[in-house]
Amino acid sequence: MNRFLVVSLTLVATSSFRGDVSCNDGGGSQQAIKPQTEGKQTLGYLLYLPRDYDQQKSWPLVLFLHGSGERGGNLELVKKHGPPKRIAAGKHFPFIVVSPQCPRGRRWKPVELVSLLDAIGGKYRVDADRIYVTGLSMGGAGTWDLAAFAAQRLAAIAPICGGGDRKTAQRFAHLPVWAFHGAKDTARSLARTQEMIAALKEQGGKPKLTIYPDAGHDAWTATYNNPAFYTWLLEHKRVEKK
């Protein structure tokens, strides 16, 4: 068995984590924010605030990066997968969710994502020590790239079926990482994720890897439907690189 294979066949059904995040029905609404023609906000995005959101406390934030199929100018496309899909179905999360849309023909640019985080942090009570990034396919690659670009801003990352640049691993080896991939993925090779995991371990990191043995490219549905995934994110706070 491949030494990178983390046996997580019970990922969807059970959790080893305490205090699973509740994803109840009747969650807060998701607001569509269009990109600005002037200024630094170049990305449109969906914004979700918890139903009990108030300005008297700081809130964790999850940045979700979609795949290549959801690019364009229609923010409804962003609701196709991941947390935005769950929110649209009426689920509630105890954290802010920001789901930007990548323009057609483009890929995720870390500098734009950092600018978006800055803008959100300027408008809402975001806990700067609890910012998490996750994404699928092209968004998984974007998650790796953002970690390499701005590791000092993040508390944890969870890339799904997306490859990164192993040469950048030293920049964020201190970050908690939980990666996911389908063993039968023909769109994005499992080896791409395994290479990143190996590179992080070589730099002293302790990343987690879950491989779904029967899954193809869709390694995200089981992941985002599992409350234990969100519990794991929220267990982490930002730490400085040693």
For the question of whether the overall pTM of this predicted structure is more than 0.75, the answer is: yes
What domains lie within the chain, and their CATH numbers? 30-34+41-234 (3.40.50.1820)
pLDDT of residue 242: 66
pLDDT of residue 40: 62
The residue type at 160: I
pLDDT of residue 16: 34
pLDDT of residue 39: 58
pLDDT of residue 66: 99
Burial 34-54 (b: 16+ CB within 10 A, else e): ebeeeeebbbbbbbbbbeebe
Report the C-alpha gap between 207 and 211 in whole angstroms.
13
pLDDT of residue 191: 97
pLDDT in tens, the chain (242 residues): 444 444 343 343 333 333 345 444 334 689 999 987 655 668 999 999 999 998 899 999 999 999 999 999 999 999 999 999 999 999 999 999 999 999 999 999 999 999 999 999 999 999 999 999 999 999 999 999 999 999 999 999 999 999 999 999 999 999 999 999 999 999 999 999 999 999 999 999 999 999 999 999 999 999 999 999 999 999 999 988 76
- Which whole-number Å values give the CA distances from 89 to 22, 29, 96, 139, 230, in the listed order? 15, 10, 16, 21, 17
Query: Residue 65's beta-bridge partner residues?
Result: 135
3-class SS shares of the chain: helix, strand, coil, % to 5: 35, 20, 45
Q: Write down the H helix ranges in 29-136.
A: 82-88, 110-123
